[in-house]
Amino acid sequence: MAGKTHTFIVSDEAVINSYGSRIMTAGIDIAQYKRNPVVLWYHHRPTKWDSKQSKETEALPIGKSVKLWKEDGQLKAEIEFDEEDDFAMKIEGKVSRGFINMCSPGVEPVTISEDAKYLLPGQLRATVVKSALEEISIVDIGGNNNALRLSHDPSQNIDEFLPLVKYQSNSQTQMNEFQQKVAMLLGLDQNAAPESVMSALTAKITLAKEADDYKLKHDTLKAEVTAMNDGRIIALVDANQDKKFTADKRETFISLGKSSGYETLKNVLDATPSMVKPGDIIDPKNTSAGGDDPNNKLTFAKLREQGADAVEKYRKEKRESYITLFKEEYGYSPEID
């Protein structure tokens, strides 16, 4: 029949222990311990077993863990004390009455790290990332709120297996943070080796330079093509000036060609009738070829069809003929200066 049990927090990774270190709960291997879940008093083990009256007998296991689990960064245990062991029951009584409240694990470090991601503010020694749980002890005063005792040879210098953290200077820290940011921007793990970061950065710089070269070539070719097209447009406009339009319209047609394209401009000019030259205007007396053919006789209506510029030019250069045509058209003479 199971006896009375007590629940303890065995380890808490959020707490820096008396060594100035801490242990990561997820990395504690509890498989072997669960095969022999002994609970000791203050991590003590007997050195001899020949006398039940010796002090060493008090170092025999005083209980066992009937349940062990990890929760929210903590290792917890439900402990049952040996009811047939007087010393164990003495400790259980103090636990029940609230005189002893602490529990401490004995672990064997497997992997330690000084990486900043495992360090808490004020932490002096490396973090135990992976470990093996060997035993759990009831303690009266622990190293911290959840006392941690590292199982190791007492003759061994703690610095040999749990070194002090070598904190970096601010400049080194800033450099490392910069390197981590660069690594992530390059699509690498933030803790990628400097060589990997440099290799990826070099590749990016090379690609960027090639892209700039291609853009320069593209822009140069584009400028050349634009210049050629502009040249064709200007040539087309100049070829039609004074035939399809007057000189004051030149820039208008050039702008049309640049905005709409050479072919559109050409279609517009092809559809534009040729200008009538002053010499092509037939006078009232029909002096051009065709003799007295009445169909070739110039009328004011025909003159108007040739455009306002032609009418104005005719009025200035052939004043009398203009008056005659106007009077024939309207029945009265025009008022002209």
Range name among 105-114, 273-282, 327-336 with the lowest pLDDT average:
273-282
Residue with tokens 């005083």: 62
Helix axes 194-240, 170-185, angle to 10 degrees: 50
What is the distance between the alpha carbons of residues 272 and 246, in angstroms, rounded to a whole number? 12
> How buried is 23 (Cβ within 10 angstroms: 0-12 exposed, 13-18 middle, 19+ buried)?
buried
Higher-confidence position of 55 and 258: 258
In this predicted structure, the answer to whether residue 311 has a pLDDT above a threshold of 70 is: yes
Q: Assign residue 43 a region: left if phi > 0, alpha if psi is -120 to 50, beta otherwise?
A: left
Distance CA 259, CA 254 (A): 9
Lowest mean pLDDT among 11-15, 120-124, 164-168, 266-270: 164-168
Determine whether 249 is exposed, middle or buried from the number of CB atoms within 10 Å of its CB (0-12, 13-18, 19+). middle
Helices (H) and strands (E) in the chain, counts: 10, 8
User: What residues does 106 pair with on adjacent strands?
Assistant: 135, 149
- CA-to-CA distance for 86 and 91, rounded, in angstroms? 9
pLDDT higher than threshold 80 for residue 273: yes
CA atoms within 13 A on the CB side of 58: 10
What is the predicted pLDDT for the residue at 222?
87
Burial zone of 136 (CB within 10 Å; 0-12 exposed, 13-18 middle, 19+ buried): buried
For 87-145, the pLDDT digits (tens) are 999 999 999 998 998 888 888 999 999 888 888 888 888 899 999 999 999 988 765 45
Residue 35, pLDDT score:
94
Distance CA 228, CA 258 (A): 11
Question: Which residues fall within 8 angstroms of residue 10, CB to CB, at 6 or more apart?
Answer: 68, 74, 75, 76, 77, 103, 104, 105, 136, 146
Q: Residue 109, exposed/middle/buried by CB under 10 A (0-12, 13-18, 19+)?
A: buried
Question: What's the N-to-C CA distance of the chain in angstroms?
Answer: 137
Dist CA 105 CA 102 (whole Å): 10
Pairing between strand 74-81 and 5-12?
antiparallel
Greater confidence (215 vs 175) lies with 215
Tokens 């992976």 locate to 130
* pLDDT for 157: 61
Q: How many residues does the chain have?
A: 337
